[in-house]
Structure 1
Amino acid sequence: MATSFKDKLPPMGVLGPFIALLLACLFFATQTDRFLSGQNFSLILQQVMVVGVIAIGQTLIILTAGIDLSCGMVMALGSIVMTKFAADLGLPTPVAIACGIAVTTLFGLINGLLVTRLKLPPFIVTLGTLNIAFAITQLYSQSQTVTDLPDAMTWLGTTFGLGNTNVAYGAVLMLLLYFLAWFALRETQAGRHVYAVGNNPEATRLTGIPTQKVLLSVYVIAGVFYGIASLLSVSRTGVGDPNAGQTENLDAITAVVLGGTSLFGGRGVIIGTLVGALIVGVFRNGLTLMGVSSVYQVLVTGVLVILAVAADQMSRKSAR
């Protein structure tokens, strides 16, 4: 039987975010001459690289029908640990960075153990660890910004020339991490297990897949991504900021939802999350270039999230 053109198209959950990104770019290109430039697109990548990497970890968790509200504050704690260890304790930069990533990974492990061993809801667990991470960050930093960092710690914030455009090394790292996550989820057995757990954990357990180990590993790996995001945050700002991370959790969830990943688990594409992060970045950048108040930028983001969740709900109902 011949397949129609519609059957050959990717599913709307994959195609929709790309169409939304394209339409947003076309709209802002008609509103301001400064939007369509290599330098502006490079700036958008730099602006979304921290949230983009956090959103990789968030995607893994949401694919298992969980959620992580602590990701932003855990990232902030990781940035304070690595900058304090480098600036105050004088540790070598690689060691200080490793310590910061170890802390964020530890929080991922704690979240995972509470979810898998004590069977606590991910929403409640990560709400609690969000507050714990915030308190530790403020106490350890004494609410002071950490400065005088070694150049090696901010290297990812530097740029290289690509034609007439300066591209940040951190943005390239973000894109590489997305490629690795895409490959792992699509081409490896462990990646398929993540989808299976999110789709039907009980049926997955009955097939012999250790669902609790899969869940635990997802939270731990997410913690590693938060640590990498900590380094990107430090690289971009040049300081360790104890007040960072207070909106990144919602921004990351927004990117995941806009990218077509279902909040009910088991369905989504990691590249869609990158597109979702870019959609948010494009809207904020474009509205800024148009001189629109930041309050309206937040308003537009909220509307986009509601529309994305509504679309997910409708697609689930139509699939039944």
Structure 2
Amino acid sequence: MTATATTPSPYAQLTGPTTVRRILTAPTTGPLAALVLACAFFSLTTEQFLTGGNFSLIVQQVMVVGTLAIGQTLIILTAGIDLSCGAVMAFGSIVIAKMAAQGTLSPLAAIGLGLLVCAGFGLVNGLLVQMVPLPPFIVTLGMLNVAFALTHIYSAEQTVTGLPAPLTALGETFPLGNTDITYGSLVTIALFLAFAYALSSTAWGRHVYALGNSPEAARLNGIRTSRLTVGIYALAGLVYGIAALLLISRTGVGDPQAGQTDNLDSITAVVLGGTSLFGGRGAVLGTFIGVLIVGVFRNGLQLMGVASIYQTLITGALVILAVTVDQISRKKAR
């Protein structure tokens, strides 16, 4: 009797234990489950939470920090960190607002200059980290103070008002059903999608992960690690410039006091989204989920009448939990 070989069906391959395990161990699975549970909890405890208008408000509230978190994700994927992002964004917003409000430059030219200034900060960060070299923590901590001081010097401690319409255009809304959506929210979502594609489907993205896993191994495989590192920091700075424009569009002014805690908020979103602080593991879409987790918790707790200090307490506990899970998963992977 001749044995007949059986070929496993494609369906069996898709639903096999390997695929299930891959899904369960994916960096974004835990954060997504946490987001769904949080939404379910607040939907049951507050009547206003589960409405289109409230969800639109959540996205508006997190779009600036979310955009910062994109740049922060790029840097953390390389095992770095950027403490200066909020201050750089604030300086960029003051440059844009003041140049346009005083008529020194046209609104579009002012926006372009602000983007270049923020990218310049990122470039300097990258050069110091790669060429000196200095630890990213020290470099960006120092740059935080530099950007903070320049913001207050250049603004003369004054809020810039009377901004031309192009600077606040992204804060305008359009109706979608019974819900008003801001154009800035769409820009943030588009950025997340663009960087998610770049990291997951391009050679550049594979090089970023390789750099975070092992810079020496990446160099031996022909990746120009020095150029890549500097480019990532400069690109992150450019993203901070876009966040500066979104900040202006949301507030309608150039505020020198803005962004003082946004650096920590962006790191919180990245960590909650499953990106490892040790580099090489994570995803931009996970960061988007992390941003939404922060926004949902703060919005839901506010609707429940919980004081803001307890919102901060809960957010801090979530960060510690997320890092603990990352550490445990790293040890199991060894």
Q: TM-score range by the shorter chain?
A: over 0.9
Amino acid at match of 1:311: V
Report which stretch shifted further, 170-179 or 84-93: 84-93
Amino acid at match of 1:164: N
1:88: Cα distance to partner?
1.5
Residue 288 of structure 2 corresponds to which residue in structure 1? 274
1:61 to 47, 68, 75: 75
Amino acid at match of 1:128: G
Amino acid at match of 1:228: I
Residue 15 of structure 1 corresponds to which residue in structure 2? 29
Cα distance in 2, alignment partners of residues 30 and 79 from structure 1: 39
- Structure 1 segment 123-142 matched on structure 2, within 5 A: 123-142=137-156
1:167 alignment partner, SS class: strand
1:305 matched to 2:308: no
Residue 161 of structure 1 corresponds to which residue in structure 2? 175
1:213 matched to 2:227: yes
2:99 to 85, 94, 102: 85
1:318 matched to 2:332: yes
2:277 alignment partner, SS class: coil
2:86 to 53, 58, 72: 72
1:23: Cα distance to partner?
0.5
2:297 to 243, 261, 283: 283
Moved over 3 A (4+): none
1:13 alignment partner, SS class: coil
Residue 296 of structure 1 corresponds to which residue in structure 2? 310
Superimposed CA distance per residue, residues 258-301 of structure 1 (whole angstroms, 9 cap, x where no aligned partner): 00000000000110000000000000101111111110011011
1:30: Cα distance to partner?
1.1
1:302: Cα distance to partner?
0.3
Aligned residues: 320
Cα distance in 1, alignment partners of residues 191 and 22 from structure 2: 28
2:28 alignment partner, SS class: helix
Amino acid at match of 2:165: D
Residue 177 of structure 1 corresponds to which residue in structure 2? 191
Cα distance in 1, alignment partners of residues 62 and 177 from structure 2: 22
Superimposed CA distance per residue, residues 206-253 of structure 1 (whole angstroms, 9 cap, x where no aligned partner): 111111111111000000100000000000000000000101000000
Cα distance in 2, alignment partners of residues 218 and 170 from structure 1: 24
TM-score calculated relative to the size of structure 2? 0.94
CA-atom RMSD in angstroms: 1.0
- Structure 1 segment 191-270 matched on structure 2, within 5 A: 191-270=205-284
Amino acid at match of 1:211: T
Amino acid at match of 1:282: V
Residue 126 of structure 2 corresponds to which residue in structure 1? 112
* Structure 2 spans left out of the alignment, 5+ residues: 1-7
Cα distance in 1, alignment partners of residues 26 and 84 from structure 2: 30
1:92: Cα distance to partner?
1.1
1:9: Cα distance to partner?
2.5
1:30 to 30, 44, 67: 44
1:162: Cα distance to partner?
0.3
Cα distance in 1, alignment partners of residues 250 and 236 from structure 2: 21
* Structure 1 spans left out of the alignment, 5+ residues: none
Cα distance in 2, alignment partners of residues 89 and 116 from structure 1: 38
Is the radius of gyration larger for structure 1 or structure 2? 2
